[in-house]
């Protein structure tokens, strides 16, 4: 299904009103924008999911004895979150719009900062020989090799944390004396 297949003005107005009342926009610690809608009415959540055309629908979720089951629609892919927010924007209230603006501003700053970086988080330079793209993200080949070696070493030694020559891997390595 296309993301815009069910995006008539009436459907977006309905989805925007529902999201205004029952949805939330937030951000994960690593910068990913997140949208979520949780309700006890399965058919309403399913209709919302059909209208927006993306995201994950899960449920029923139990919340204890005597409490109703809930269904949850969530979306964690930032590009789609931006598109959905833009589509629902005219139908959202001021509070929801300000939260969306805050999340998108932070996402844009983090995304832009990492895009302009000349070195990876561990200090390796992003050269054509040391850079590859995976799932839309720029990655460092040297860090990938080190992580792979550390994973292999840990698996080979049944998860034991040994002193070895692969130093500088996110708290795994130590220097040999």
pLDDT digits (tens, 9 = 90+) for 65-85: 678 889 999 998 877 888 888
pLDDT given at position 165: 47
**pLDDT confidence bin for 141, thresholds 50/70/90:** confident
Task: Indicate the residue among 96, 116, 136 that finishes a domain.
Answer: 116
Same domain flag for 78 and 31:
yes
Q: What is the pLDDT of residue 77?
A: 81
- pTM equals 0.59
Is there a domain that residue 2 lies in? no
Instruction: Tell me if 73 sits within 8 A of 2, measured CB to CB.
Output: no
Which domain range does residue 90 map to?
A: 9-116
Tens digit of each residue's pLDDT (9 = 90 or more) over 10-69: 999 999 999 999 998 888 766 678 899 999 999 999 999 999 998 899 888 887 667 888
In this structure, are 98 and 131 located in the same domain?
no
Residue 94's Cβ-count burial label (10 Å; 0-12, 13-18, 19+) is exposed
For residue 90, being part of any structural domain is answered with: yes
Provide the domain count of the chain: 2
């Amino acid at each position: 299904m296309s993301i815009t297949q069910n995006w008539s003005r009436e459907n977006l107005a309905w989805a925007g009103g529902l999201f205004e009342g029952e949805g939330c926009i937030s951000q994960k610690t690593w910068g990913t924008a997140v949208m979520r809608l949780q309700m006890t009415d399965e058919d309403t959540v399913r209709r919302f999911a059909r209208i927006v055309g993306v995201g994950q629908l899960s449920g029923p979720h139990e919340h204890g004895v005597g409490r109703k089951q809930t269904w949850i629609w969530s979306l964690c892919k930032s590009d789609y979150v931006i598109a959905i927010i833009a589509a629902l924007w005219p139908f959202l209230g001021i509070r929801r719009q300000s939260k969306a603006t805050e999340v998108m501003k932070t996402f844009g700053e983090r995304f832009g900062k990492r895009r302009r970086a000349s070195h990876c988080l561990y200090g390796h330079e992003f050269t054509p020989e040391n850079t590859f793209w995976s799932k839309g993200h720029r990655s460092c080949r040297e860090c990938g090799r080190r992580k792979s070696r550390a994973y292999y070493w840990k698996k080979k030694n049944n998860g034991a944390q040994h002193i070895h020559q692969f130093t500088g891997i996110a708290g795994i390595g130590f220097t040999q004396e």
